[in-house]
């Protein structure tokens, strides 16, 4: 299975403090209808740090039931204690997910040897396909290209969500992309840049909005219609900075709520509602 196109790190809807599974199911059906290539529950955009272990299982089970094999599902399973991550891999595997998105260990900041050993332990313990998530500004550690390319030699380490924050590193990685390995940007503003430099797509929080247009950009680049893709992309790009002006996924959830695609834009503490100033900017950008 080649990982490509628009993958959605789907939000987790909350209502009165609990997960709103009815709204969640409706969102899944909607985004599949717009052409996304894959779904990632329990990513950072899904507020995974605030989801209990019981809710993790409920959410994965609900996701698999609603998706019903229409598109692949990779669950967010990561942490900074390798043994705990290995246990959680076994838990989500019971629900027959297609793979996992696993972030670099955070806070304890392992060196390159530690990062390599961590992901090798995951790959050797589980048959699930693995997308490595490199996001140094959240984790405090950068997975260097040399280390990532060594890990990519493992058959079930199939992709990277590249949010390294360094365009030089990202372009160097794209130039060395191994056969069969997918590079999916997690930097929404670099989606078009990644595609035209040989990347395979993106895991994009901003694709909760104008989803079909994000898919269309991918399809046009794949068909070598780069100029048309650029025009479409420029119409999308202006909204992206607003969606990350305050902590994700607050702005995205607010937009879905005012567009009446989500009953409530609630987040869980420590995230709080977005500011009135940003709300006004988003309403203006969306024309509502």
Check: CB of residue 94 under 8 Å from CB of residue 64: no
- CA torsion sign, 64 to 102 to 51 to 18? negative
Write out the two tokens for 130. 């693995």
Catalogue the E-assigned strands of 91-219: 99-103, 129-134, 157-162, 182-185, 201-203
182's torsion region: left (phi>0), alpha (psi -120 to 50) or beta?
beta
Tokens standing for 237? 């790009």
C-alpha to C-alpha distance for 198 and 117, rounded to whole angstroms = 28
Q: Is 251 exposed, middle or buried (0-12, 13-18, 19+ CB in 10 A)?
A: buried
| Contact (CB, 8 A) for 139 and 161 | no
Please identify which of the residues 62, 161, 232, 253 carries the catalytic annotation. 161
Q: Verify whether residue 161 is a known catalytic residue.
A: yes
Sequence-separated (6 or more) residues with CB below 8 Å from residue 207: 6, 8, 36, 188, 214
Total Cβ atoms within 10 A of residue 243 = 24
User: 27 near 13, Cβ under 8 Å?
Assistant: yes
Catalytic member of 21, 24, 116, 133: 133
Catalytic residue IDs: 133, 161
């Amino acid at each position: 299975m080649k990982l490509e196109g628009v993958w959605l790190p789907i939000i987790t809807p909350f209502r009165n403090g609990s997960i709103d599974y009815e709204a969640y199911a409706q969102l899944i059906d909607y985004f599949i209808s717009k052409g996304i290539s894959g779904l990632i529950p329990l990513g950072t955009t899904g507020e995974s740090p605030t989801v209990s272990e019981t809710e993790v299982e409920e959410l994965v089970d609900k996701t698999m039931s609603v998706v019903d094999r229409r598109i692949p599902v990779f669950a967010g399973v990561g942490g900074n204690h390798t043994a705990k991550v290995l246990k959680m891999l076994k838990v989500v595997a019971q629900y027959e997910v297609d793979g996992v998105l696993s972030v670099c260990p955070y806070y304890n900041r392992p060196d390159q040897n530690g990062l390599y050993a961590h992901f090798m332990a995951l790959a050797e313990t589980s048959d699930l396909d693995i997308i490595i998530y490199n996001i140094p500004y959240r984790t405090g550690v950068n997975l260097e290209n040399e280390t990532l390319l060594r890990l990519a030699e493992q058959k079930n380490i199939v992709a990277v969500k590249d949010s390294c924050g360094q365009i030089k590193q990202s372009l160097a990685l794209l130039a060395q992309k191994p056969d069969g390995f997918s590079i999916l940007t997690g930097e929404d503003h670099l989606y078009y840049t990644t595609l035209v430099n040989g990347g395979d797509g993106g895991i994009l929080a901003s694709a909760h909005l104008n989803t079909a247009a994000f898919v269309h950009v991918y399809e046009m680049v794949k068909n070598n219609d780069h100029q048309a893709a650029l025009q479409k992309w420029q119409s999308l790009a202006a909204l992206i900075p607003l969606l990350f002006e305050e902590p994700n996924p607050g702005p995205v959830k607010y937009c879905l709520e005012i567009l009446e695609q989500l009953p409530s834009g609630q987040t869980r503490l420590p995230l709080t509602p977005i500011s009135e100033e940003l709300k006004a900017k988003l309403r203006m950008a969306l024309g509502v």
